[in-house]
Amino acid sequence: MVGRRRGRGLGMSAVVVGVLGLVLAVGAFGWLRSSYGVSTVGGDSMRPTYGKGDRVVWERVDGSQVRRGDVVVFTPPESYGFDAPLMKRVVGVGGDRVRCCTLVGSRERVTVNGEPIEEPYVYGGDPDGVHQPYDVKVPAGRLFLLGDHRANSLDSRFHLDEQGGTVSADAVLGRVTDDRAVPALLVAALLLGGVLLLTGVGLGIGFLAVRRRRAPEMPQMPWPVQPGGS
């Protein structure tokens, strides 16, 4: 009786732990995939913020949610000549007027709506880089994008004849984030779910082994006796 109860408890534990692990793993994987992406920086256009080979995490957001200063991953227009997503910084959003460059004191500055913007992230402190002036009114639903390494970035400045070099906000795949807490938590949940699932499988195997040991042996049938023998 005790062995039977023990075996039944082992079977119930296998089901509960296995199902819990499966739900946790599938849920964490689904949330992670639908909310975040990971990319490897392929060039130096975003130095010094991000260098070639850096792994970046980006959260999936609608293009209308990004703001000036955000670094975004986006699908480039055909004119860029790239099939893979690119990463640039948002300098202007719909309705902004972006101009380069205005001398403020002894420094050249990019201005947005007539106001010089602080760009501590630009490589070498140079907001221009290629000495190519521009004055762009960003259409609604579009973004003006620049790399942080202005002397080494293929960005909105080189496509000015196509809607001022702007990119559709719908092309945005996500916004780069340095906050790894939520993705790390989801990865931990995924791993825990996998461990619980494997544990459930192990308990299930143990249950089957106990059940097999408890199965009674069927008695062997005697050989039939032929009638009429003397």
Instruction: Taking residues 162-184, report their average pLDDT.
Output: 91
Contact (Cβ atoms closer than 8 angstroms) between residue 80 and residue 154: yes
Helix (H, G, I), strand (E, B) or coil at 71: strand
Average of per-residue pLDDT across 145-163: 95
Residue type, 51: G
Q: How far apart are CA 59 and CA 75, in angstroms?
A: 15
Same domain, 24 and 79: no
What is the Cα 191 distance to its own chain's centre?
17
pLDDT of residue 209: 78
| Residue in 80, 61, 81 with CA at minimum distance from that of residue 70 | 61
Task: Verify that 142 and 200 share a domain, yes or no.
Answer: no
pLDDT on residue 7 = 58
Does residue 3 have a pLDDT over 50? no
Q: How many domains is the chain built from?
A: 2
**131 and 156 inside one domain:** yes
- Look at residue 166 and tell me whether its pLDDT is greater than 70: yes
**Which residues, 6+ apart, have CB-to-CB distance to 202 below 8 Å?**
14
Q: pLDDT of 187-212, one tens digit each?
A: 898 899 899 889 888 888 887 877 77
Identify whether 20 is part of a domain. yes
Query: 24-55 pLDDT, tens per residue?
Result: 889 888 888 889 999 999 999 999 999 999 99
26 and 48 in a single domain? The answer is: no
Identify the pLDDT of residue 217: 52
pTM of the shown model: 0.78
Say if residue 118 is in the same domain as residue 104: yes
Lowest average pLDDT, out of 11-20, 30-39, 64-73, 204-213, goes to 204-213
Same structural domain, 11 and 88: no
Determine the residue type at 158.
F
The pLDDT value given to residue 96? 98
Which among 34, 35, 45, 156 is annotated as catalytic? 45
Residue 227 has what pLDDT? 58
Which one of 13, 34, 88, 106 is the catalytic residue? 88
Residue range(s) defining the domain that contains residue 18 = 2-33+191-212
The answer on 139 and 172 residing in a single domain is: yes
* CATH code of the domain in which 90 resides: 2.10.109.10
3 state SS of 91: strand
* Residue labelled with tokens 């739900």: 23
Gap between the Cα atoms of 53 and 2, Å rounded: 60
Distance CA 139, CA 70 (A): 18
Residue 23 belongs to what H/E stretch?
helix 2-35
Q: Reply yes or no on whether 88 is catalytic.
A: yes
Taking residues 142-151, report their average pLDDT: 97
- For residues 63 and 151, membership in a common domain is answered with yes
Same domain for 108 and 15: no
Give the separation between CA 48 and CA 222, rounded to whole angstroms. Answer: 88
Q: Look up 35 and say whether it is catalytic.
A: no
Same domain, 108 and 51: yes
